[in-house]
Chains A and B, each alone.
Chain A
Amino acid sequence: MHELSIACSLISIVKETLHDRPCRVKAVVVRVGRLSNVLIDSLEFGFSALIAGTELDGARLIVRQPDPLLLCGECGQETVLKEFEFACPHCGSLNITVKGGDDLFVESIEVEEETAS
């Protein structure tokens, strides 16, 4: 249930980035790692509830969930982590680092510029 506070944080990043730029926000693209314990449905629900009636009303939340990468410290191979098995599938080593697993980023904002009428 921390998705609501995560939605709050990402909305303030969007507002900060845009300042008073005269535009309509069409979409916000976020990257959520598969190990970040964020439930996407709840995040989307929280986002839409929080932006209703604000200047962001109508914006879509686009969630990207790239597979984390497993880097082996022994054989140096890089593998996509599919199941949560934290061992190198090539040499079996447990000396691994996971890249991108707990990512939680606002990647970009898609806007439509408002032309002065």
Chain B
Amino acid sequence: MSVIMVERKVLERNDAVAQENRTLLQTNGVFSVNLLSSPGSGKTSLLEQTLPRLRHEFAIAVIEGDIQTDLDAKRIEALGVPTAQIITGGGCHLDANLVKKALATLPVEKLDLLFIENVGNLVCPAAYDLGENIKAVVISVTEGEEKPLKYPAIFRNAAVCIVNKIDLLPFLNFSVERLKENAHAVNPQLQIVLTSCTTGEGIDEWCNLLRTLRRKDPSSASA
């Protein structure tokens, strides 16, 4: 019997396409955000609050990843923002190739900012680089403070954590402090923003953070 040494990354093909996406976005000065969360944490609602605040300043597009239906894409299109829909038909995550196809339908050369709303899932999307600048993970206060400890991979790789639905805090036994401790235990650099898409609280802070992160990114700042 003989042993053939291989030592190749299993997802090397995904990573290579992700790099193509990254190059395409960076050469066009597009800052991109991969939005991740459990189903129902409020990714689409967050975009509905964010886009009207930023669209006069930046040319924005959205890639909507869903298992089924274009309901979320319709909500975003209603805001007049170019939207590319990916329906995974049961697939639990977006991969770089799906994003590459979606990018081909968007006016990338005219964009400043791209949001990729991933499929609602905190497990599988963590493994797939899409070519984005940053990952932002959304959790809602009804999900419990332990979320970062239960899903460390996604919280370790994210730059921002948006804690949504804070208008519900008075009705819940949820400690924002404990959530912050847990999140920072997993990722000390994680920037945390508290938001409510119902009252609009915290959305300006999140938009400011996006402006800062975009400015800090060398490729988008120069464009």
Contacts and interface: CB of A to CB of B under 8 A. Distances in A.
Contacts of B186: 84, 86
Contacts, number: 96
Interface stretch (B43-51, B57-65, B123-131): B123-131
Given A1-B92, A2-B127, A37-B127, A105 B7 contact: yes
A53 to B, nearest CB: 22
Nearest to A106: B6
Interface in A63-103: 84-87, 94-95, 98, 101-102
Interface of A: 1-2, 5-6, 9-10, 12-14, 17-18, 26, 30, 35-38, 84-87, 94-95, 98, 101-102, 104-113
Contacts of B2: 110-113
Contact of B153 (A1, A36, A105): A36
A108 B185 contact: no
B42 to A, nearest CB: 23
B11 A112 contact: no
Contacts of A113: 2
B10 A6 contact: yes
A9 B123 contact: no
B4 A109 contact: yes
Interface of B: 1-14, 91-93, 95, 123-124, 126-128, 149, 152-153, 156, 184-188
A9 B14 CA distance: 9
A24 B166 CA distance: 58
A110 B3 contact: yes
Chain A at the B interface: mostly helix, strand, loop or mixed? mixed
Contacts of A13: 6, 8, 10, 12
A83 to B, nearest CB: 10
A17 B4 contact: yes
A5 B90 CA distance: 13
Nearest to A87: B185
Q: Name which of B5, B11, B14, B149 has the most chain A CB atoms within 10 A of its CB.
A: B11
A40 to B, nearest CB: 13
Contacts of A35: 152-153, 156
27 contacts: A1-B92, A6-B127, A9-B13, A10-B10, A12-B13, A13-B8, A18-B4, A30-B10, A35-B153, A37-B123, A84-B152, A86-B156, A86-B185, A86-B186, A86-B188, A98-B156, A101-B153, A104-B10, A105-B8, A106-B6, A107-B5, A108-B5, A108-B7, A110-B2, A110-B4, A112-B2, A113-B2
